[in-house]
Amino acid sequence: MAKIIGFPDKGSDQRGFEQLLQPHIDHLYRLAYRFAGNKPDAEDLVQDLMIKIYPRRKELDQVENLRPWLVRVMYNLFIDGKRRQSRSPIHLTVDNSPDYEGSDPIDYLESEHMGPEEETARHLYNGHMVRTFDQLSNDHRMVITLHDIEGYTLEEMTAILDCPIGTLKSRLHRARARFRDLLKTSLSEPHCD
């Protein structure tokens, strides 16, 4: 077999890529989960992001603030995926109930002194929150996730979502109002798990 000579070591290239990306993966996965609403799609979204940016790995260390840049690329991938799905005649339905698989349920208890009734009430309330959150439009879910859940500033979000700050503020305001309305409706309706 012919032997290739003169090619650089790809191992060091990959190590550099991993060192750069490792600190952001948990955060990206958490965001992806908020965007997508379930574990398989969240994992796929982060995987798609990695595949997308790997050919441009040399540029990544030039990015001054890598995390918002990665979030922006992932957001674009998510939106592109949603557009493709909306054009497809095949639709996938996912279970919107809270997904505790692989997680320690104790992580979701707010107080270690919570009694069984409070715990049940909290669990039910969380169920309403999750269902309500999943009913939001992509735009509304995105701004609430980034700002109210993950703590991104409006200035950071202008770069991530490529949107003027005034538009973001009013979108955030509408998203919260919508969430409150949906939550009120959800809490007033009996729900069977």
Partner 1 sequence: MNCQENFNRLDDYFDATLDEAGRRAVDDHLAACPTCRNAFDEERSIRAALRALPVASPGSDFHRRLFENTYAHHKRSARRRYGLGGAIAASFFLVLASTALFKNTPPPAPGDRHEAIPGMTISLNEVSDVKLIFKSAQNFDKARFTIVLPPGVELDGYPEQSEISWEGRLKKGENLLVLPVVARNPGVGELAAYVVHGDKEKSFRLHMNVNHQESALPSPAVQPA
Q: Which residues within the stretch 160-189 sit at the binding site for partner 1 (CB under 8 A)? A: 160, 162, 169, 172-173, 176, 179-180, 183
Task: Give least dist CB 89 to partner 1, A.
Answer: 25
Q: Please identify, using beta-carbon distances, which residue of 82 and 173 lies nearer to partner 1.
A: 173
Residues contacting partner 1: total by CB under 8 A:
78
As a whole number of angstroms, the distance between CA 161 and CA 139 comes to 10
Nearer to partner 1, 85 or 181 (CB): 181
Choice from 74, 133, 142, 182 touching partner 1 (CB under 8 A): 133
H-state helical runs in 37-115? 39-53, 57-60, 66-87
- Considering beta carbons, is residue 89 or 105 the nearer one to partner 1? 105
Which amino acid, one-letter code, is at 193? Answer: D
Burial class, 119, CB count within 10 angstroms (exposed 0-12 / middle 13-18 / buried 19+): middle
**Two structure tokens written together for 188:** 């007033």
CB of 113 to partner 1, least distance (A): 17
Is 18 an interacting residue with respect to partner 1 (CB under 8 A)? yes
Q: What contacts 177, CB < 8 A, 6 or more positions away? A: none
Out of 94, 121, 124, 149, name the contact with partner 1 by CB under 8 A: 149
Residue from the set 83, 118, 120, 155 that interacts with partner 1 by CB under 8 A: 155
Task: Read off φ and ψ for residue 172, nearest 5 degrees.
Answer: -65, -40
Span of 85-93, 111-119, 146-154, 185-193 interacting with partner 1 by CB under 8 A? 146-154
CB of 83 to partner 1, least distance (A): 13
> What tokens does 49 get?
């992001």
Q: Which two tokens stand for residue 67?
A: 């995390």
- Residues with Cβ < 8 Å from 73, sequence gap 6 or more? 49, 52, 53
Site for partner 1 in 94-123 (CB under 8 A): 98-103, 107-108, 110
- Read off the tokens for 125: 């309330």
Task: Note whether 17 binds partner 1 by CB under 8 A.
Answer: yes
